[in-house]
Amino acid sequence: MATKEELQTQADAEIEAAKPLYALVNNERREFTDAEYAQAKVDLGNNKWNEQQFGYIEARQEAYGSIGDQLDMQYKDLVDGTTVWKDHIAKVKSDNPKPA
Amino acid sequence: MAGSLIKIDEEIVSSAVASVSLTGIDSTYDVYLLIMNNVSPANDNKDLYMQYIKASDSSTDSTANYDYATKGLLTSLSFQNNANTNQTQFTLQYARGSATNEQDNNLLYLFNTYSSAEYSFYTLEGSGLNFAGGLGSEQGGGAHSVAQSNSGVKFTWESGGNFASGTFTLYGLKK
């Protein structure tokens, strides 16, 4: 698990590597100002941190599947005596772990 | 009513840019309408962000005061709640695609944006195809929990990616 400082260092390097970046303002395409480059680094660092800390929530939501599909799994498990739904949920959680 | 929408600013992406800013919000109008048409990222699977531009110095506000709650109506899932507080930007759309026809289209109403005495709010109605080609329709809104005067908004993609296309038009709603 990377620290916030380590992720910021990665973000700084990525923005440097991506130069030149351009902004569209007042119908003019121009290169970022120094302040905009600095802000882009901060924003990217924040996004990397949020993705690391909270990205699992969105990933789990998508992987769980619809409530209808899950209810269907539960119904079949009850009828067949299987554990498909429980195993599915456990796998989604283990595939997308919550950061320690 | 005829003539009730007054065009303030329009930005058309014709070559790659990492940010698009719309400015010109002031006390002339209470409510502004922002329409985004055929917006797409240069690279696949990117979330679309929005931040306010401060009236005081025209800098972008990236403090952790952005709260939003939206619901994604998806053809691949029944729905998905997307809510966050104290973020450094609003997330308007998720996992947008860069392939042909995977454009994003949004309509936002902006409230109290220029008021220095109130929080700024927006409502969102959006529709587009995600990077897997599935329809994602995001509906909801957000609040910027700072009583601060803002003169515009700035759009960026996740991970600092470029815009490949898009027409952004800002209107004032005549009082």
Element (H, E) at A89: helix A84-95
Task: Give the pLDDT confidence score for residue B166 in this predicted structure.
Answer: 96
The residue type at A94? S
Nearest chain A CA: its distance from B156 CA (Å): 10
Is the pLDDT reported for residue A8 higher than 80?
yes
Secondary structure E strands in chain A: 22-25, 28-31
**Total length of chain B:** 175
Task: Give the pLDDT confidence score for residue B75 in this predicted structure.
Answer: 83
Give bridge partners of residue B139 from the DSSP assignment: B71, B125
Task: Give the pLDDT confidence score for residue B30 in this predicted structure.
Answer: 93
State percent of chain A over pLDDT 90.
Answer: 76
Q: What is the DSSP string of B15-47?
A: S-BSEEEEE---TT-SEEEEEEEEEEESSSSEE
**pLDDT confidence band for B1 (50 / 70 / 90):** low
Measured between beta carbons, which residues in chain A are less than 8 angstroms from residue B158?
Answer: 47
Q: What is the 8-class DSSP label of residue A33?
A: P
Task: Give the pLDDT confidence score for residue A79 in this predicted structure.
Answer: 98
Strands in B90-96's sheet, in edge-to-edge order, are: A28-31, A22-25, B19-23, B150-157, B46-54, B90-96
Tell me which residue has tokens 């070559």.
B15
Assigned token pair, B58: 């025209």
- β-pair type (B104-111, A22-25): unpaired
Contact check, Cβ <8 Å, A29/B15: yes
Is the pLDDT reported for residue B77 higher than 80?
no
For B6-65, what is each residue's pLDDT tens digit?
999 999 999 999 999 999 999 999 999 999 999 999 999 899 999 999 999 999 999 999
Buried b (16+ CB within 10 A) or exposed e, B140-173: bbbbbebebbbbbbbbbbbbbbbbbbbbbbbbbe
On whether the CB atoms of residues B132 and B76 are closer than 8 A, the answer is yes
For A56-89, what is each residue's pLDDT tens digit?
988 898 889 888 899 999 999 999 999 999 999 9
- Between B56 and B3, the higher pLDDT residue: B56
Is the pLDDT reported for residue B108 higher than 90?
yes
Q: What is the 8-class DSSP label of residue A25?
A: E
Contacting A residues, span 24-43, partner chain B, CB-CB under 8 Å? 24-27, 29, 32, 35-36, 39-40, 42-43
Residue B137 domain boundaries: 5-173
Q: What is the pTM of this model?
A: 0.88
Contact check, Cβ <8 Å, B87/A62: no
Contacting A residues, span 65-84, partner chain B, CB-CB under 8 Å? 65-68
Count of structural domains within chain B: 1
Is the pLDDT reported for residue B76 higher than 80?
no
Distance CA B1, CA B42 (A): 38
**pLDDT confidence band for B2 (50 / 70 / 90):** low
